[in-house]
Structure 1
Amino acid sequence: MWLVFFKELKELLRDRKTLFFMIALPILIFPLIIGGVVYFTDKAVKEAQSETLDYAIVGSQFAPDLAEKLNALSDLNLVVVPINDNHQQLIAADTVDFIIEIPANYSEHILQSGQATINVYLNDARINKVVARVEGIIKEQTNVLRQTAFESLHLNSDQGAALITPIVLNKIDTANQRESLGEKLGGMIPYMIFILCLQGAMFPAGDLGAGEKERGTLETLLISPIERYKLVLGKFFTVAAAGITTALITVASMALWGTLLSKGMAVEFVVTFMSSIGALDFVLIFLMLIPVVAIFASILLSLSIYAKSYKEAQSYMGTLVILVIIPIIFALLPNAELKGGWAWVPLTNVALAIKELVKGTMDYYQLFAIFGSTALIAGALIAFCIHWFNKEKVLFR
C-alpha cells in the first residue's frame, strides 16, 4: 500500500497543474478575493460620489429656495427638459440621470398645506448616489419648515421632537463586533475552503483512475502481487494527501493574511474581523477538514475508476462541485444552527462549525457529533471505493 502511495505521490509532485491547485491557488485566493472586493468596491463608490450628474426639476416654481440650493451643488448639472415628456424615457435615453418632481402643495406653511411628496425619478440599478446627494438638501429644507411650524405652535425643540416621534425604539445589540461580522461573513469561508479542497483533490484523482486507463498502465498495476484493497488505499491516500495539503495551505493562508491585515493592510472592519480569529480556531478548522477531504477523495476516486476516460471523469467531477455547494447553502439557512440534527449532517455540520468558530460562539461539545458523523461517512465511502475497484466490469468499461 505504501509503495503505491509513494509511487503515486512522486508522480503527483511532477505535475505542475496539480501543484498550482494544491499550493498556489489557496495562497492567492484570499488576498485576491478580500483585497479585490475591497479595492474595486471602494473605487466604484468613490467614482459614483465624484461623478457630475445631470438632473431636471419639474415644479421648481413651487419651491424656488429648494431649486436654488440644488442648482448651487457643484456635482449636479441642471438640464432643461419639456415638462410633458415621459420621465422614464428621458432617464433611459441618458438625457438626464434623475428628475425631481415637486408637487403643487409644497409650501412653507406645512400646517396649512399638509405633507408634500417630492418624487425622484432615477435608475436605481446604477451606483450613482442620487438619493444621498439630494437627501441632504431635502433634510435641511425639512428642518426649516419643521422649525417654522413649531414656532407657530409655540413649541420648543424638545416638545417638537416629542410631537413628531412620541416613542423611540432604541435597539441595543448584545452581540460583539466579531459575532456580528462572523454572522455576515462566516458563511463565505466554508464555501471557499470546500471548493479549494475539492479542486486540490480533483486533478490527482482523475489521473490515478481514468488517467491510468487511458495510458494503459492500470492492467500492469493489477497483475502485480499487491492486493486490490492496498492498491485502492495507496491511491486514496495520495488523493487525500493532495486535498489535505490544500486544506492546510488554505487555513494557513487565512491565518497569514489575517495577521497581515491586523497590522493595518486593509480597511478597519476586515482588520477587526480577521484578527479576532484565534490560533485554536484555525487548528480546529483544519482538523475538521481532514474527514471532509477523505469524503471528497473517496468519491472522486470512485468516479475516476468508473469513468472510461480522463475527460469523462472531469465531467463527473464538475457535477460534484455543484453538489458540494448544496450542504453549504443549508448552513446559510436562517434556522440552521450547530445543534440537534444539524450537528450530524455531513459537510453542513462542518460549514456551520466553521461559521461558529469565526463568530466565536462555538459549542465545543458538538465536535463529537461533527467528527463522528463525518468520519463514519468517509469510512463508508472508502469501503465503497474498494468494492468498486474489485469489480472487473467497472475497471474495464
Structure 2
Amino acid sequence: MLLKIYLKELKDCFRDRRTLFLTVLLPIVMMTGLTFFYEQLVSGDEGETYTLAVDQSFGKEEEKILAGFDNIDIVKSSDPEKTLEDGDAAAALVLSPDFISKIESGQEASVTMVGDSFSQKSSNLMSLVSNALSIYEKTVISERLQAQGTDLKLIQPFTIDQKEMSEEDPNINLIAMLIPLILSIAIGIGAGPAASDLFAGEKERKTMEALLMTPVKRPTLLFAKWLTIATIGAVTGIITLIVVAIEINLLTENLRKAVSFGDNAGLVIGFGVLVSVIYAMFTASLLMLTSVIGKTVKESQSYSTPIMMLAVFPTMITTGIGVNELSFQHFAIPVLNLFSLLKELLFGVINYEHILITIASNLICMIIIFIIGRILFLKDKWVMN
C-alpha cells in the first residue's frame, strides 16, 4: 500500500506541468546562469582594456611609466576628472606640473589618482596604475642610490617568498562555495512546490478528508508523501548537479581547470550523491512540517521561504574557512555540514569521521522533525481545513 501511494503521488507531481517546470527546469536554468556568472568572475580581467584619463601635458616621458601595461589606454583631456565623471574613462591620473623634471632634479612631486572604488573596472585600473607607479618609484630610488655609490641591498635587506600550503587551483575555493549553494537551492526549489501541494494543497482543495476516509493508515500516508517530497528534492538536486558538472566540463575554462579529484574521483562523487540524498530527506522533513501547519498553499510557501534562505548563512561562514580549519561543529550542524563536507570533498579530502558526523546529525534532526510532523498529522486540527 505504501508503494502504491508513493508511486501515485510521484506521478501526480510530475504530471503537473507547472510543478515539473518549478522542480526541474527552473533550478537547472538558475544554476546554469550561476555557473556562467562564476566563470566570468574567475576569468578576471584577461583581455580587458581600461581607459585612463590624463592631463594634456602628459608627455612621452610620463607614458613610459605605463609602458609595461598594454591594457591601459591613455586619453588626454583638459579636465581628466570631468572625463571620468562623464563615463569616458575608468579612472583619472593627475600629475603635478613638470612631474618628470622635478623627479630628475630631486624636487618634490605629487600624483593624484581619481576613481570609483565601488566599480570593479575602476578598482582594477587604479591597482594597475599603482603598480606601475610603485615600479617607477623603485627605479628612481635605485638610480639615486647607485649615483651615490650606495649598495642596493641596503633598501632590500631580505626577500619574501610566499608559498601556498595547497597546490590546488585557487578557483577550487569558489567551486567549493558554488556547488553546495547550487545543491541546496535546487533541492529547496524542487521539493518546495510538491511539499506545499501534497499537504496544504490537499486541505485547500478539500480532498484531504476524502483521502483520510480510505483504509490507509495516517502514518503510512504521511510517510508516502514525505518520501515523494524527498525523492523529488533528491532527483532535482542530482539532475542539477549533473547538468552543472557537464557545463563546467564542456563550457567553462577556468572552473574546469580547478576541478581535479585524481584517484579519489569515484569516492568523491559517490559521497557527494549520498550527502545530496540525505540533505534532500532533511529538507523534505522541514517542508513537510511547514505544509502540515499551513492551511493553504500560499501560507505553506510563506512558512517554507526561510528554509530556502538557510543556504545563505553557511555560504558566508564557510567561504573564509580553510579545509584544515573545519572542526566538529561544522559537520554537526545541519545545512552548515552540507557546505563543509562538500568543501572537503571538492578539495579531494575524504574524512570518514566527518562524513559519519554529517549523516548522523542530519538523520537525527530529520527523525525529530518527522516525529513532530507525524504527531500533528494524527490530529484533525492540523489535517482538516
Report the TM-score when normalising by structure 1.
0.81
Counterpart pick for 2:296 among 309, 325, 349: 309
User: 1:21/1:326 Cα in 2 relative to 1: closer, same or farther (>3 Å)?
Assistant: same
In 1: Cα distance, 2:197 partner to 2:291 partner: 8
* Equivalences for residues 160-199 of structure 1 within 5 A: 160=152, 162-178=153-169, 180-199=170-189
User: 1:52/1:327 Cα in 2 relative to 1: closer, same or farther (>3 Å)?
Assistant: closer
The corresponding residue for 1:266 is 252
Q: Does 2:201 match 1:203?
A: no
C-alpha contact 1:213 1:308 (8 A) present in aligned 2: yes
In 1: Cα distance, 2:44 partner to 2:290 partner: 44
C-alpha contact 2:278 2:362 (8 A) present in aligned 1: yes
In 1: Cα distance, 2:313 partner to 2:142 partner: 56
Moved more, 319-328 or 205-214: 319-328
The corresponding residue for 2:224 is 234
In 2: Cα distance, 1:185 partner to 1:7 partner: 38
C-alpha contact 2:172 2:258 (8 A) present in aligned 1: yes
In 2: Cα distance, 1:7 partner to 1:102 partner: 76
User: 1:346/1:100 Cα in 2 relative to 1: closer, same or farther (>3 Å)?
Assistant: closer
In 2: Cα distance, 1:7 partner to 1:321 partner: 27
Counterpart pick for 2:327 among 316, 319, 339: 339
The corresponding residue for 2:85 is 92
User: 1:93/1:324 Cα in 2 relative to 1: closer, same or farther (>3 Å)?
Assistant: closer
1:325 corresponds to which letter in structure 2? V
| Cα deviation digits, residues 120-167 of structure 1 (max 9, x gap) | 122333314543664576467546534531441235xxx42x233222
User: 1:42/1:55 Cα in 2 relative to 1: closer, same or farther (>3 Å)?
Assistant: farther
Counterpart pick for 1:78 among 72, 76, 88: 76
- What is the number of residues matched between the two proteins? 376
C-alpha contact 1:102 1:118 (8 A) present in aligned 2: yes
2:292 corresponds to which letter in structure 1? I
In 2: Cα distance, 1:14 partner to 1:319 partner: 28
The corresponding residue for 1:17 is 18
Gaps in structure 1 of 5+ consecutive residues: 82-86
In 1: Cα distance, 2:367 partner to 2:338 partner: 17
Which secondary structure state, in structure 2, belongs to the residue aligned with residue 373 of structure 1?
A: helix
In 1: Cα distance, 2:163 partner to 2:90 partner: 39
Which secondary structure state, in structure 1, belongs to the residue aligned with residue 231 of structure 2?
A: helix
The corresponding residue for 1:348 is 336
Counterpart pick for 2:378 among 368, 372, 390: 390
User: 1:38/1:95 Cα in 2 relative to 1: closer, same or farther (>3 Å)?
Assistant: closer
C-alpha contact 1:108 1:145 (8 A) present in aligned 2: no
The corresponding residue for 2:143 is 148
Which secondary structure state, in structure 1, belongs to the residue aligned with residue 233 of structure 2?
A: helix
Please say which structure displays the higher CA radius of gyration: 1
Deviation, 1:245, is 0.9
Deviation, 1:94, is 5.0
C-alpha contact 2:272 2:342 (8 A) present in aligned 1: yes
Counterpart pick for 1:364 among 352, 367, 378: 352
In 2: Cα distance, 1:181 partner to 1:36 partner: 13
User: 1:378/1:132 Cα in 2 relative to 1: closer, same or farther (>3 Å)?
Assistant: closer
User: 1:212/1:271 Cα in 2 relative to 1: closer, same or farther (>3 Å)?
Assistant: same
C-alpha contact 2:35 2:244 (8 A) present in aligned 1: no
The corresponding residue for 1:293 is 280
In 2: Cα distance, 1:95 partner to 1:31 partner: 33
1:8 corresponds to which letter in structure 2? E
Deviation, 1:79, is 1.3
1:79 corresponds to which letter in structure 2? S
| Cα deviation digits, residues 53-86 of structure 1 (max 9, x gap) | 54336xx5xx8664465899993221114xxxxx
In 2: Cα distance, 1:43 partner to 1:154 partner: 43
Which secondary structure state, in structure 1, belongs to the residue aligned with residue 194 of structure 2?
A: helix
2:293 corresponds to which letter in structure 1? Y
Deviation, 1:100, is 2.9
The corresponding residue for 2:310 is 323
Counterpart pick for 2:363 among 375, 382, 386: 375
CA RMSD of aligned residues (A): 3.4
* Equivalences for residues 268-287 of structure 1 within 5 A: 269-276=254-261, 278-287=265-274
In 1: Cα distance, 2:227 partner to 2:215 partner: 19
Which secondary structure state, in structure 1, belongs to the residue aligned with residue 259 of structure 2?
A: helix
* Equivalences for residues 36-47 of structure 1 within 5 A: 36-39=37-40, 46=47
C-alpha contact 1:71 1:78 (8 A) present in aligned 2: no
The corresponding residue for 2:55 is 56
1:271 corresponds to which letter in structure 2? R
